[in-house]
Structure 1
Amino acid sequence: MAVEVVYRSSRDPERLFMDKAEADRHDRMLELAEALASTLQQAVPGLAEEQAEELGVFMARHREVFARAFKNQPEALGELHSTPA
């Protein structure tokens, strides 16, 4: 019988990972998404909670692209147009 070690995301218990570092990255991404969603809802009071969450996750998943765009490379956002949702 083989023993397999799996890691569970503390913020998304349904997700299992074979690598602890990958599970940690996923948790950090979800933490960032939550902070972004909260900030977006404060900035845009009419924004629905579900929409804010979706935007937060999208921005957190593509944070490298957004970071480049905020560092005077707005053309980096063009990469998001070719990325599937």
Structure 2
Amino acid sequence: MAVEVVYRSSRDPERLFMDKAEADRYDKMLELAESLADVLQKAVPSLSEQQVEEIGIYMAKNRDVFAKAFKNPEALNELQNS
């Protein structure tokens, strides 16, 4: 019988990872998504809770592209082509 080490996301307990670094990255992404959702909800109160959550997760998953876009808006083309 083999022993297998798995890591559980602290923010999404159903999600398991084989690598601690990957679990940490996922938790940080969810933390950023939550913060973005809070800001979006305040900025655009007409958005539903589900919409701000989905937008927050999308932006958090693509944070590098959005960061580049603040310096060069053409960086957003990366998202349109995927």
TM-score normalised over the length of structure 1: 0.94
Aligned positions, number: 82
Distance 1:81 1:33 in 2: 20
Deviations 1:12-69 (A, max 9, x none): 1111000000000000000000000000000001111100000000000000000000
Secondary structure of the structure 1 residue equivalent to 2:55? helix
Q: 1:60-75 alignment to 2 at 5 Å?
A: 60-70=60-70, 72-75=71-74
- Aligned-residue Cα RMSD (Å) equals 0.6
Distance 1:62 1:38 in 2: 17
User: Which runs of at least 4 in structure 1 moved beyond 6 Å after TM superposition?
Assistant: none
Alignment match, 1:82: 81
Q: 1:9-24 alignment to 2 at 5 Å?
A: 9-24=9-24
Which residue identity is paired with 2:14? E
Secondary structure of the structure 2 residue equivalent to 1:10? coil
